Structure 1
Amino acid sequence: MTHILYIEDEREIGSLVSQQLVDRGYEVTWLQSGEGAEGHVDLVDLVILDVMLPGLDGFSIGKRLKRASESLPILMLSARTAMEDKIEGLSFADDYITKPFHLDELIARIEVLLRRFQKQEQTLIIQHLQINTKDISITNTLTNEEIQLTGKQFFLFQCFIRHLNQILSKNQLYEQVWGETYIEGDKTLMVHIRYLREKIEVDPSNPIIIETIRGIGYRVKQ
């Protein structure tokens, strides 16, 4: 079942749209603010996002969600009709609908986005690893066994896959995985990289998947 994250602070609208989506066969998680939204990124197939929210606005939340998962489609659903708002929304979101709207149009746009992004799903091959990019499941093709990652190992590898071929600094990795600023000399990241290498590298002492970029950070190349 397709799972939609719907972020809307207006109770009447949120309740109505949520129920109509459920009636159409979708699973819906409705939040009334952007707080905690990033925790749902890996659990949902699409986000419907209002602009006017308490705390951080929808533009800020949407940009955070896209940074967390580029492959997660975001549909802006807002009463703000000014062209500059639409332009800002579409700078990161994948569609923008203004209120009032017709439910059939919303459903149609949801289906278009889902089809578009499902086509983008692919299996990556990196050395001896076969990776499903939707759920970041990993198979060792040498043994035909699935590699189980836990906790921070999973989020680290997910970050590398979503920024494939890019050099990621220690600070970038630390902020995305731990949500904090990296402090020079902290060994936490290095330790988790070592544990991750022990699971995915043929020879962890001579890694070829997670490259160390001396003085900067790390990179995974396809």
Structure 2
Amino acid sequence: MDRSILYIEDNEKIGSLLKEELEQRGYSVQWLLSGEGAEEEVHQHQIVILDIMLPGLDGFTVGKRLKKAAPAVPILLLSARTSVNDKVDGLQFADDYLTKPFHTDELVARLEVLIRRSGGIHTERISLGNHIEVDPEAQMVFDKRTGEEIILTGKQHRILMYFLRHPNQVLPKEQIYEAIWEEPYLTGDKTLMVHISRLRQKLERSPDSPEIIETLKGIGYRVKL
């Protein structure tokens, strides 16, 4: 199956060259000059390559909207900006960040890592613990013991999918909060903790001794697959 890419880049020279190079390497590329219409197209692709500097809505805004529309589709950000703040801001929603200028070989290597990492998200159900099964494509969560669907709120579902996009990684609570709520985390805010607690009530066999959502005291959380 072709590797299908949604590529958003307003520079026609760069866009044309990279599209041609990627197609020569066996990828299928849909190239857009702006973020307009991207939310309708993102579901048709395995991955997004997104330039930050775009006319109209900038790449940060477009990226957040795409991630909200299709949480399972990884986003690779491209930018000539090299500041740490830009990278941190971008990685609140994107899955990787590549600074211009770059070599196509490096871009392709990063694409392949992201596609492999997200492959199970599109095609296979994911088991959590011994009793929870997630169908990311259908956006559904099941209890394997009963076969019944577990109904999550919108925020709970987004938190769970964020964990599944970063399996086995220790995620700081600030990072999770800012990715889900799309606003700065304020020290001492208990909002995320409350949502995690309620999510555990629905997923864990024993919420007081969680097997799925692990707490790393003073740091954040991790979901092991």
Is TM > 0.5 for Structure 1 vs Structure 2? yes
- Sort the Cα spacing of 1:171 and 1:52 in 2 relative to 1 into closer, same or farther, 3 A: closer
- Which TM-score applies when normalising by structure 2? 0.58
Q: Deviations over 1:61-101 (max 9, x none)?
A: 9x95996468xxxxxxxxx9x8x442453353349xxxxxx
Task: Report the 3-state secondary structure (helix = DSSP H, G, I; strand = E; otherwise coil) of the residue aligned with 1:219.
Answer: strand
- Aligned: 1:93 with 2:95: no
- Aligned: 1:121 with 2:123: yes
The aligned residue for residue 185 of structure 1 is 188
Q: Deviations over 1:160-183 (max 9, x none)?
A: 112222221111211221223322
1:141 CA displacement: 0.8
Q: Deviations over 1:119-164 (max 9, x none)?
A: 9733222221012244552110111111122211111001111222
- Between 177-186 and 188-197, the greater mean CA deviation after superposition: 177-186
**2:218 aligns with one of 205, 215, 220:** 215
Distance, in Å, in 2 between the alignment partners of 1:36 and 1:47 is: 16
Q: Could you list the runs of 4 or more consecutive aligned residues of structure 1 that deviate by over 4 angstroms after TM superposition?
A: 3-6, 34-37, 39-42, 47-53, 55-58, 63-70, 116-120
Amino acid at match of 1:179: E
**1:169 aligns with one of 165, 169, 172:** 172
Gaps of 5+ in 2: 20-29, 61-76, 81-86
Rg bigger for which structure? Answer: 1
**2:78 aligns with one of 59, 62, 71:** 59
Task: Report the 3-state secondary structure (helix = DSSP H, G, I; strand = E; otherwise coil) of the residue aligned with 1:180.
Answer: coil
Amino acid at match of 2:142: T
8 Å CA contact 1:136, 1:158 repeated in 2? no
8 Å CA contact 2:212, 2:223 repeated in 1? yes
- Aligned: 1:202 with 2:221: no
Distance, in Å, in 1 between the alignment partners of 2:124 and 2:170 is: 22
Q: Percent identity?
A: 38
The aligned residue for residue 26 of structure 2 is none
Q: CA RMSD in A?
A: 4.5
- Sort the Cα spacing of 1:121 and 1:218 in 2 relative to 1 into closer, same or farther, 3 A: same
- Sort the Cα spacing of 1:130 and 1:196 in 2 relative to 1 into closer, same or farther, 3 A: same
Task: Report the 3-state secondary structure (helix = DSSP H, G, I; strand = E; otherwise coil) of the residue aligned with 2:149.
Answer: strand
- Sort the Cα spacing of 1:139 and 1:185 in 2 relative to 1 into closer, same or farther, 3 A: same
- Which TM-score applies when normalising by structure 1? 0.58
Amino acid at match of 1:125: S
